[in-house]
Amino acid sequence: MAPSEIGFVGLGNMGMAMARRLPAAGYQVVGYDASAEIMREIAGVDGFTPAPGITGLGTDVVMLCLPDSDVVEHVLLAEGLLDSVPAGGMVIDMSSSDPARTRALAARADEVDVTLIDAPVSGGVSGARAGTLTIMVGGPPEAFDLARPMLAAIGKRVLHAGDTGAGHAVKALNNLMSAAHLIVSSEALIAGRRFGLDPAVMLDIINGSSGRSGSTENKWPNYVLTEKFDAGFSIRLMVKDMRLALGIEHATGTPSLVSEAALAAWEAALGELPGDADHTEIARWLDRS
């Protein structure tokens, strides 16, 4: 399979940033989004063709960038996208989905001779624009080999995580760790500032020390100290991924005291912030407490 066209469903901030990488690699994108405004926008973008409808993509490969498993299942099953993919085709779910539900969808896809693999990403909107995303792929090795050139147009690191659902499992667990890093880093940096320390100086010290993380190296300097709070990933989606990760911990009998405490704190923030607030807003929420 060496498609010249790739269908892409879900052209929000993240999806559009990823899809824009494909024409530069020689692929024509047949795009679809539920937003009429986005569909009008892509009509004028080089390398993009608007699909006439969700079942009108007409491509052997379809990439999905959607909010969660509920939307993925609705698009594939209720709206008929899966049945419209040609036999022998492939669906690449780049959403942050539930790994158990992904496996069930892959079995449904197999019944109509379509391969469904999961390929969620890490790196945010900025990484999508720069083509530096890490892409973690779950699926049979032969499907990974077929998908890798297409995914390499979008991300810098394309890694085979294991069988179907493995990519979504790693993504959820990664985001649990990221969320825990961010909240404890924020608590420590806010405490330091209240003590009289300069947060920028603290970050300079910490980022050369054992307390460093993606939160201290990226999120705090670029989105919190600048007060931009626009990393491009909502607090609602972060909490969703944390719940998925905690479900994996519980299902495997893994101790989860710290994970449960982190989730409880994030859920408290979600209860007071709009669901579409950027997840870095949790630092400002903590500072008001």
Catalytic residue list: 171
Which residues, 6 or more positions from 145, have their beta carbon under 8 angstroms from its beta carbon? Answer: none
Q: Phi, psi (5° rounding) for residue 19?
A: -60, -35
92 and 61 in contact (C-beta within 8 Å)?
yes
Query: CA–CA separation, 131 vs 73, rounded Å?
Result: 28
* Angle 233-75-49 from CA coordinates, rounded to 5°: 80
What do you get for the CA distance between the two ends of the chain, in Å? Answer: 55
Q: Beta strand pairing status for 5-9 and 28-32? A: parallel
What dihedral angle (degrees, nearest 10) is formed by the CA atoms of 121, 280, 224, 217?
-40
For 27-106, strand residue ranges (E) read 28-32, 48-50, 61-64, 90-93
CA distances from 139 to 91, 111, 148, 169, 215 (A): 11, 16, 12, 12, 30
Distance from the Cα of residue 75 to its chain's centroid: 17
Q: 96 with 120: CB under 8 angstroms? A: yes
Report how far residue 7's alpha carbon sits from residue 54's, in angstroms, rounded to the nearest whole number: 10
